[in-house]
A and B are shown apart, each in its own frame.
Chain A
Amino acid sequence: QKEVEQNSGPLSVPEGAIASLNCTYSDRGSQSFFWYRQYSGKSPELIMFIYSNGDKEDGRFTAQLNKASQYVSLLIRDSQPSDSATYLCAVVTNAGGTSYGKLTFGQGTILTVHP
């Protein structure tokens, strides 16, 4: 059973702070890693993807991947109240071909950014 685990939170940070969201996965063969943001009652919205060990930055967001530790994280710098949402970690194993979109999701971390 392939598992993706996240701390469900809630994680509360003040506006302007760095929010750090963590995710671990059980399948060492996992190859692609995604972070989605989900507002209540809405669909998952892709924020970032990462495939290689190390850091990947996109604006205020940085994804970090450590395959040896089976760990992926998302940092949100200069957090804003509009960042308040549930953040979903998703993993693909056996990427390539038709399996690419078969995402295994974590349960999500609720982030609250307070003014």
Chain B
Amino acid sequence: EPEVTQTPSHQVTQMGQEVILRCVPISNHLYFYWYRQILGQKVEFLVSFYNNEISEKSEIFDDQFSVERPDGSNFTLKIRSTKLEDSAMYFCASSDNRDPYFGPGTRLTVT
């Protein structure tokens, strides 16, 4: 069964460093999303991406965040200068305009 994959599974970084989280969506899906979940809190929408551009973003997704689809398979989330409060699980999801399926997540720890 096709699935969304994400790398790395765990990323530890120092405050102020840049990180890139990677995702490979399900191959025939056209819509891509990033969500995050701070420990013990709700899953929160960050951004949606369609047709090589951002279609919607939340207030969390400020200038420190960017997304890119550098080739036909990968979808990345970049955080330019990480803060302690960026520590969370980051989930990539994809859909074929119906039900979003989530990847396993990347645990980002900012020290």
Contact = CB atoms under 8 A, between A and B. Distances in A.
Chain B associates with chain A = yes
Interface stretch (A17-25, A69-77, A105-113): A105-113
**Central interface residue in A49, A90, A104, A105, by most chain B CB within 10 Å:** A105
B102 A105 contact: no
Contacts of B48: 98-99, 101-102
B101 to A, nearest CB: 6
B57 to A, nearest CB: 10
B99 to A, nearest CB: 5
B33 interface: yes
B56 interface: yes
A57 interface: no
Contacts of B50: 98
B95 interface: yes
A44 B43 contact: yes
Given A100-B95, A106-B42, 8 more contacts: A42-B105, A43-B104, A49-B98, A90-B43, A100-B98, A101-B48, A103-B43, A103-B100
B95 A101 contact: yes
Give 9 nearest A-B pairs by CB, closest first.
Answer: A98-B55, A101-B100, A105-B43, A43-B102, A98-B50, A43-B105, A101-B33, A101-B95, A44-B102
A35 B46 CA distance: 20
A105 B56 contact: no
Interface in B12-69: 31, 33, 35, 41-45, 48, 50, 55-56
